[in-house]
């Protein structure tokens, strides 16, 4: 095998060493195969019903299992492992794939000259570093930034944001575009919120990108190293397991600087209302003014639980500004170029410069619950309403009737005056559909609910120059389960036949 031949080979001269170094890197597998990079995918399970409880409250829930796979293109660490991520740093790929706690440098000090470029909005600035290491590279970046500042450059606003519904910290992170594996404590706390069945959580991710620094990709893998790095040195790294087909070497190819604000809002308001409130805050940010939120948005924020993670800003100040809806105040705080911090990293393979990304798969459950009410359903239904005597039977035995029937404040039948019904004595009111209404009571209240039936029937006599006459008008509140007949009398008389039924509703008790 080529690897065994390398380990057992005798020392050779430097030109041959560089050729063999390149040959060795050419034998390494492609990063996507090594890291098992997957296509983005979302698999949704069937929606199932489930019973649950919270204290004494019985819940009925719809539950759906989701499997989410994604491959973020940039690494956002929220501070974790950032000391290892200086521009051009060599890293062990296995640690990167393993996630937080696994980042390990590839300790090769014999590095070739490295050219770095800062992409400012007004142009590019470059610098070459003879012996790149963490300190030298950071000094070079600081020098380029200082030069841009002295030239009067001020970073323009480049702020974008995204919101997602939070079902788990891991799924929220992937949906926001950064890896859940690399969540630092403050970011995990901002996303891993506790809520009950009445609450929703929306996460908002605001990014202000000021500038990006890149390192030039060498022509060959051997060009990463100076002439002091020999084949023997490479074999040492292989022998210690720091480099090989199961631990591909990678490097930090670019770093973006700026500020990040990640926060979640947990509220009993709907998800759409929470998003609208966040959007209202962002509108002020786009306009460059403090947002004057309306009362509804102010109330929502004042009553919400807010968790915050920041990079390049003050966390406590951010919480206050979020509650006030004044995101503009957070991002408009005076920030000079040198105060921006690394917010994301791009990693690439040393072998061929291909993007070194890591796929992540997380499983989570979407659960929506509502309280189950158990009790009795009482239904009132009119069977018939017969005219016995009109308001003025001596002169007219026909009523041009119009009016209302109201049960517990709910109109269950109504006819306007221009659409009156002509009803003769002994005839029923023509109901196209029998008027009815329902009243609910709890299981503990095994008694008749407070029914209040109001009838207002009027005989239209204005057609012959007379005045409207009331047939019946008043409240009636005598109820029992069964079929009942009741005479209703005012200036006229009507006969009401109705039924009252009672049945249990809700999930049966276990």
Span 243-255, average pLDDT: 96
Residue 90 Cα to chain centre, angstroms: 35
- Cβ neighbors of 10 (< 8 A, separation 6 or more) are none
Q: Is 290 left (phi over 0), alpha (psi -120 to 50) or beta?
A: beta
Per-residue confidence (pLDDT) for residue 25, from 0 to 100: 96
Tell me: pLDDT of 12 over 70.
Answer: no
Q: What is the pTM of this model?
A: 0.69
d(Cα 232, Cα 11) in Å, to the nearest integer? 7
d(Cα 205, Cα 432) in Å, to the nearest integer? 57
245 confidence band (pLDDT: 50, 70, 90): very high
Q: Using the structure block, give the residue that is written with the tokens 């995204």.
A: 162
Domain residue ranges of the chain, discontinuous segments joined by +: 2-370, 375-505
Per-residue pLDDT tens over the stretch 100-140? 567 899 999 999 999 999 987 566 789 999 999 999 999 99
- Cβ neighbors of 482 (< 8 A, separation 6 or more) are 499, 500
Per-residue confidence (pLDDT) for residue 508, from 0 to 100: 47
Query: Residue 286 phi/psi, 5° resolution?
Result: -65, -35
68 by Cβ neighbours in 10 Å (0-12 / 13-18 / 19+) ranks as buried
**Which alpha helices (DSSP H) does 151-201 contain, by range?**
169-176, 185-191
Tell me: pLDDT of 335 over 90.
Answer: no
Least confident span in 244-258, 347-361, 453-467: 453-467
Nearest to 145 by CA among 160, 127, 128: 127
Residue 488 in contact with residue 494, Cβ under 8 Å?
yes
Per-residue confidence (pLDDT) for residue 93, from 0 to 100: 94
d(Cα 71, Cα 92) in Å, to the nearest integer? 19
Per-residue pLDDT tens over the stretch 193-237? 888 888 899 999 988 888 899 999 999 999 999 999 999 999 999
Per-residue confidence (pLDDT) for residue 138, from 0 to 100: 92
313 confidence band (pLDDT: 50, 70, 90): low
Long-range contacts of 52-61 (CB under 8 A, 24+ apart): 52/197, 52/369, 54/196, 54/197, 57/371, 58/371, 58/372, 58/374, 58/507, 59/197, 59/369, 59/370, 59/371, 59/372, 60/369, 60/370, 60/371, 60/372, 60/507, 61/197, 61/367, 61/368, 61/369, 61/370
d(Cα 355, Cα 338) in Å, to the nearest integer? 28
141 confidence band (pLDDT: 50, 70, 90): very high
Query: Residue 95 phi/psi, 5° resolution?
Result: -65, -35
- Beta pairing class for 249-267 and 305-311: antiparallel
Using the 8-state DSSP alphabet, how is residue 450 labeled?
-
502 confidence band (pLDDT: 50, 70, 90): confident
41 confidence band (pLDDT: 50, 70, 90): very high
H-helix or E-strand spanning residue 4: helix 2-8
Q: Using the structure block, give the residue that is written with the tokens 């968790």.
A: 307
Cα first-last separation, the chain:
68
d(Cα 254, Cα 137) in Å, to the nearest integer? 12
Per-residue confidence (pLDDT) for residue 345, from 0 to 100: 93
Task: Write the DSSP assignment of 224-280 as a string of letters.
Answer: GB-TT--HHHHHHHHHTTSSBTTB-EEEEEEEEEEEEEEEEEEESS-HHHHHHHHHH
Query: What is the total residue count of the chain?
Result: 510
Per-residue pLDDT tens over the stretch 42-59? 999 999 998 887 777 778
Give CATH for domain 375-505. 2.60.40
More confident residue, 252 or 146: 252
d(Cα 403, Cα 416) in Å, to the nearest integer? 6
- Cβ neighbors of 175 (< 8 A, separation 6 or more) are 68, 70, 164
d(Cα 197, Cα 369) in Å, to the nearest integer? 6
Tell me: pLDDT of 10 over 60.
Answer: no
Cα 150 to Cα 212, 213, 256: the distances in Å are 18, 18, 21
Tokens for 469, please give them: 């006459």
Tell me: pLDDT of 14 over 60.
Answer: no
Query: Residue 272 phi/psi, 5° resolution?
Result: -65, -35
Span 370-378, average pLDDT: 79
d(Cα 318, Cα 286) in Å, to the nearest integer? 17
Per-residue confidence (pLDDT) for residue 5, from 0 to 100: 46
CB atoms within 10 A of CB 259: 22
Span 29-33, average pLDDT: 96
More confident residue, 262 or 16: 262
CATH class, 2-370 region: alpha beta
């Amino acid at each position: 095998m080529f690897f065994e031949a390398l380990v057992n080979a005798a020392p050779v001269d430097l030109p041959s060493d560089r050729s063999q170094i390149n040959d060795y890197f050419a034998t390494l597998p492609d990063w996507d195969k090594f890291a098992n990079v997957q296509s983005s995918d979302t698999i949704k399970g069937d929606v199932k019903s489930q019973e649950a409880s919270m204290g004494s409250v019985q819940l009925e829930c719809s539950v759906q299992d989701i499997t989410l796979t994604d491959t973020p293109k940039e690494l956002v660490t929220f501070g974790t492992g950032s000391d290892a991520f200086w521009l051009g740093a060599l890293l062990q790929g296995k640690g990167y794939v393993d996630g937080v706690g696994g980042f390990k440098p590839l300790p090769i000090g014999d590095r070739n000259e490295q050219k770095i470029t800062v992409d400012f909005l007004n142009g590019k600035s470059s610098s070459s570093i003879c012996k790149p290491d963490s300190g030298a590279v950071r000094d070079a970046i600081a020098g380029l930034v200082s030069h841009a500042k002295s030239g009067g450059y001020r970073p323009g606003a480049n702020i974008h944001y995204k919101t997602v519904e939070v079902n788990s910290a891991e799924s929220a992170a992937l949906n926001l575009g950064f890896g859940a594996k690399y969540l630092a404590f403050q970011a995990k706390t901002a996303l891993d919120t506790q809520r009950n069945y009445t609450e929703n959580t929306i996460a908002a991710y605001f990014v202000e990108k000021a500038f990006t620094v890149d390192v030039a990709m060498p022509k060959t893998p051997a060009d990463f190293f100076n002439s002091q790095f020999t084949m023997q040195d490479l074999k040492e790294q292989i022998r210690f397991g720091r480099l090989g087909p199961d631990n591909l070497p990678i490097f930090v190819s670019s770093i973006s600087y700026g500020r990040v604000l990640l926060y979640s809002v947990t509220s009993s308001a709907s998800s759409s209302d929470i998003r609208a409130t966040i959007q209202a805050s962002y509108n002020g940010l786009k306009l460059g003014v403090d947002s004057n939120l309306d009362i509804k948005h102010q109330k929502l924020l004042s009553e919400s639980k807010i968790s915050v993670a920041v990079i390049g800003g003050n966390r406590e100040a951010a919480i206050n500004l979020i509650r006030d809806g004044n995101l503009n105040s957070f991002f408009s705080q005076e920030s000079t170029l040198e105060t921006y911090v690394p917010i994301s990293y791009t990693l690439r393979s040393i072998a061929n410069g291909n993007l070194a990304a890591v796929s992540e798969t997380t499983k989570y459950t979407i659960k929506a619950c509502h309280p189950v009410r158990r009790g009795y359903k009482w239904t009132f239904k009119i069977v018939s309403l017969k005219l016995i005597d009109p308001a003025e039977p001596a002169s007219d035995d026909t009523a041009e009737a119009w009016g209302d029937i109201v049960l517990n404040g709910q109109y269950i039948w109504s006819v306007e005056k221009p659409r009156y019904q002509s009803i003769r004595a002994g005839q029923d009111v023509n109901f196209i559909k029998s008027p009815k209404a329902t009243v609910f009571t709890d299981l503990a209240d095994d008694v008749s609910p407070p029914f209040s039936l109001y009838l207002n029937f009027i005989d239209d006599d204005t057609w012959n120059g007379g005045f409207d006459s009331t047939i019946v008008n008043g409240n009636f509140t005598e109820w029992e389960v069964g079929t009942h007949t009741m005479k209703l009398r005012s200036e006229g008389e009507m006969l009401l036949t109705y039924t009252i039924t009672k049945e249990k509703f809700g999930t049966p008790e276990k």
